[in-house]
Structure 1
Amino acid sequence: MTPRQEPERYTVVSADCHAGADLRDYRPYLASRHHGAFDAWAAAYTNPFADLQAPEADRNWDSGRRLAELEQDGIVAEVVFPNTVPPFYPSTSLTAAQPTAEEYELRWAGLQAHNRWMADFCSLAPGRRAGTIQILLGDLDAAVAEIRRCRAAGLTGGVVLPGVPPGSPVPELYSAAYDPLWAVCAELDVPVNHHGGSAGPVLGEEPAARAVFMVETTWFSHRALWHLVFGGAFRRFPGLRLVLTEQGSGWIPGVLDMLDYYHQRLVGAATRASTAESKFGAGLAEAMGAGPRAVWERNCFVGASFMRAHEVPLRERIGLDKIMWGSDFPHDEGTFPYTTEALRTAYAGLPYAEVAAMVGGNAARVYGFDLPALDALAAKTGPLVSDVAQPLPTPPPGATSPAFATGGSVRVW
């Protein structure tokens, strides 16, 4: 039998891209009863984000420009998270706090408008965009209904799980109150995405606060993992899948070691009467089922946006079938227009099969892309395997992505 020849180019699926409508283009996606409130809100809104201002902003909603730039960068498909500001929000929804009871109706209407827009946007590039579904946690019946509606409308990128910082007006994520949400996601095979930057407390605008945010933001995003693991969500719903996106990947082996340690320690303590720790482990084994590492191996994945070179040696401990590279397009910390160079920085010298899985195959499996169809597109535009195999001597001039950052000994926690 003749060995199968490796393709000349990689099929790259970005597991982390962002898009959204221009501000006033959300209006048709709102119920007419909200139009007056929307007009007043839009007239008063001042956009504080440079990347949402011309000429770069239309990368978020200009389908033709977006496809052309992604293809130029070697990317043939994308998982699409929100980016622009949805109706009635003061800022982007990914980083927004849970709304108060007074804010809920309009904020929920704004997210639903974005979901409707997202479905239309994805329909402009069939098979190449897996749009995500935004929900709120204040009304789980409404959230479940929206997931069903959006999945039927063609959004295949999974749910964006809102952040729940300490002190939020909704239960912590380990609560069984969220079982209706986990149940519908498991039933419909909808991944649950928890995106970086979405779960930290509000810290203010002082220089120290901004620095503390950078240090802590990924840690707060990681919390969803141990909340769902210790909360037993994966025992009750074995088909549930969790994806942790744009929060690094090098932290995962160490955190799994830590979670296994606490699991074993607390479960063991629960079997010993009258110890100081016995109360902490009471009922944990029954609630959780399998231990943290087994849950990770069965149910969890990482959206490894602009994966850095120092994280790559940990790939087997993370799980080669878990890692899904992302470009973070169109953010300036993303790899555009230097995706091939970013892949060289991370993956030069690795076996073809490993790179192919991390840059496209895993994401195609998790999000339901038709990989053979994408292979045909990538045969024309994907990064050359021979190019990615060559180490990159120096970062491209002007590159702003952390993919090219030095200081490889720093671990992202």
Structure 2
Amino acid sequence: MTSTGSMGSVGSDGADRYTVISADCHAGADLLDYRPYLEKRYHDDFDAWAATYVNPYEDLVADTADKNWNSERRIAELEQDGIVAEVVFPNTIPPFFPSGSLMAPAPTPEEFRRRWAGLRAHNRWLADFCAAAPGRRAGVFQILLNDVQEAVQEIRWAVGAGLRGGLLLPGTPPGSGLPELYSSTYDPIWAVCAELGVPVNHHAGSASPPLGDEPAARAVYMVETTWFSHRALWHLIFGGAFRRHPDLKLVLTEQGSGWIPGVLDMLDYYHGRLVAAATKASAASTASTAESKFGAGLATSMGKGPSEVWRDNCFVGASFMRPHEVPLRDRIGIEKIMWGSDYPHDEGTYPYSREGLRFAYARVPRDEVAAMVGGNAARVYGFDLDALDPIAAKVGPTVTEIAEPLAEPPAGATSPVFARGASVRVW
């Protein structure tokens, strides 16, 4: 497949440099700083809630928590890491949520009302945060799925406010009480995102059901969390969302990328098998088999097959891409892959993103690297490479640097990309 993207820029030292855009970073306001962004009718409720709220996440109460909202610090640290722009997913706790909003669908109408107010406050804070670094942040705005028309109104507001990172699609985990993502209930959401040209993003961790507190829960979560996130892909494909909205873009972020070729093969297999059975039963005017019943109407409702939908409509936010995934890039689609540092998370590559890029992309052709580390994200999220290339000429990693294989992991690195056993490459 053809690669796409900026070939980078030439620094004052004469070195060719990559223009790196992280397609996966996280930010949010400090808890009390959300208050001015809430509608005034929620201020008393917020004061009472905030007075007793205990943040469950150590990194959000640590001295380094201001990485989430300190604009100047973020720019400095990202530039130090060789990154000139970022796609900004949420991270801190919005008003009225018990934990991160990715993992907390509203359980009751009253909680939906309060949490919806909290997400709208986050979106308004995010618009200001992105405006503080013009052209360098694509903010991903949030909705809830309980009220589709409210969600559509918020999408229109967010895009009008300059949040061009697109929609963060919540999960519909088992037990949520929400229609599944393949439901036509959500068509107005797909329609407005396609109309406005912003992607639908689905981030890992947003669709897992609660697992309780048993000792095995954390291990089971690690095994299952990306699979639950992958489900959005086949739900939207088999649900026909891309046939009805051919301009819709879906981005699957921080879910790995090595799984994609195998899953597409599986989806193509089931699609072909079920459509063939239904077509045969219809043509022969014979009694329907169990298999033909499963495939009835599928070809008409879907239009294209799964691999064609992936080719035309889907992308992967390949956070801290691992070396064993890189040889699959042609099967995934080089023009589909968008590297991300996951700043400021501990599992992210900061402050060793240059090393992470070397580990993954050493000896990969320059034009392919340029596409995966910046060019593709610029195209999907609307970054202006002409404006970013001069910054990259000062801070971006050099082509020569990234081409050199990494001899050993950097001391103190916490990203799993460098962990023994996380890749087929052995130190």
TM-score category, normalised to shorter length: over 0.9
| Aligned pair partner of 1:352 in 366, 386, 403 | 366
Q: CA deviation at 1:207?
A: 2.0
Aligned with 1:209 (options 200, 217, 223) = 217
1:164 aligns with 2:166: no
Is 1:18–1:329's contact at 8 Å kept on the other side of the alignment? Answer: yes
Question: Is the aligned partner of 1:255 residue 2:263?
Answer: yes
Gap change, CA 1:63 and 1:409, over 3 Å in 2: closer
- CA–CA separation in structure 1 for the residues paired with 2:330 and 2:422: 18
| Partner Cα distance (1:335, 1:374) in 2 | 21
Please give the per-residue CA displacement for 1:361-404, whole angstroms capped at 9, x wherever unaligned: 00000000001111110000001111110000110011111221
The 3-state SS of whatever aligns with 2:89 is: strand
Tell whether 2:44 aligns with 1:30.
no
Any gaps of 5 or more consecutive residues in structure 2? Answer: 1-6, 11-15
Q: Which residue of 2 aligns with 1:390?
A: 404
The answer on whether the counterparts of 2:358 and 2:403 sit within 8 Å (CA) in structure 1 is yes
What residue is the counterpart of 1:59 in the other structure? 67
Residue from 101, 115, 130 that aligns with 1:107: 115
Range moving further from structure 2, 274-283 or 106-115: 274-283
- Supply the distance in 2 between the matched residues of 1:111 and 1:63 (Cα, whole angstroms): 20
Helix, strand or coil at the partner of 1:337: coil
Which residue is equivalent to 1:366?
380
Matches within 5 A, 1:180-259: 180-259=188-267
1:406 aligns with 2:420: yes
Query: Residue 5 of structure 1: CA displacement?
Result: 9.8
1:74-120 residue CA offsets vs partner (Å, 9 max, x unmatched): 00000000000000000011122343222110000000000000000
The correspondence for 1:154, drawn from 158, 162, 169, is 162
1:44 maps to what in 2? 52
Give distance in 2, aligned partners of 1:121 and 1:181: 25
| Distance in 2 separating the partners of 1:187 and 1:98 | 27
Q: Which amino acid aligns with 1:25?
A: D
Question: Does residue 295 of structure 2 align to residue 281 of structure 1?
Answer: yes
State the alpha-carbon separation in 2 of the partners of residues 394 and 293 from structure 1.
Answer: 37
With normalisation by structure 2, the TM-score equals 0.94
- Is the Cα–Cα contact under 8 Å of residues 67 and 344 in structure 2 kept in the other structure? yes
DSSP-derived class of the 2:63 partner:
coil
Per-residue CA deviations over 1:224-270 (Å, capped at 9, x if unaligned) read 00000000000000000000000000000000000000000000111
- 8 A contact 1:99–1:107 mirrored in 2: no
Task: Sort the Cα spacing of 1:277 and 1:206 in 2 relative to 1 into closer, same or farther, 3 A.
Answer: same
Instruction: Tell me the amino acid that sits aligned with residue 275 of structure 1.
Output: T
CA deviation digits over 1:274-311, x for unaligned, max 9? 32211100110000000000000000000000000000
The match for 2:4 is: none
- Aligned partner of 1:217: which letter? T
SS of alignment partner, residue 363 of structure 1: helix
Partner of residue 80, structure 1: 88
Q: Distance in 2 between matches of 1:186 and 1:199?
A: 23
| Aligned partners of 1:21 and 1:114 also within 8 Å | yes
Residues of 2 paired with 1:36 and 1:73: CA distance?
Answer: 41
Q: Which residue of 2 aligns with 1:70?
A: 78
| Conserved? CA contact 2:8–2:19, under 8 Å | no
What is the aligned partner in structure 1 of residue 29 from structure 2? 21
> 2:3 corresponds to which residue?
none
Aligned-pair CA distance for 1:54? 3.0
Bigger mean CA deviation after superposition, 366-375 or 45-54? 45-54
- The one-letter code of the counterpart of 2:361 is Y
Cα distance between partner residues in 2 of 1:325 and 1:374: 17
Structure 1 runs, 4 residues or longer, greater than 3 Å off = 4-7
Query: Does structure 2 conserve the Cα–Cα contact (< 8 Å) formed by 1:100 and 1:169?
Result: no
Report the TM-score when normalising by structure 1: 0.97
Corresponding residue SS for 2:252: strand
How far apart, in 1, do the equivalents of 2:213 and 2:418 lie? 28
Where 1:114 maps in the other structure, the secondary structure is helix
Q: CA RMSD in A?
A: 1.2
CA contact (8 A) 1:204 1:210 kept: no
Contact kept in structure 1, 2:9 and 2:19, CA below 8 Å: no
Separation in 2 of the partners of 1:351 and 1:276?
49
Q: Distance in 2 between matches of 1:315 and 1:395?
A: 23
Residues 409 and 49 of structure 1: CA distance in aligned 2, closer, same or farther (over 3 Å) = closer
Aligned mates of 2:50, 2:262 — CA distance in 1: 45
Deviation at 1:6, TM superposition (A): 7.1
Report deviation, 1:407.
2.5
AA of the residue aligned to 2:352: Y
State the SS of the aligned residue for 2:174.
coil
Q: CA deviation at 1:123?
A: 0.4
Q: CA deviation at 1:409?
A: 6.0
- The match for 2:395 is 381
Amino acid at match of 2:73: R
Query: In structure 2, what is the equivalent of residue 296 of structure 1?
Result: 310
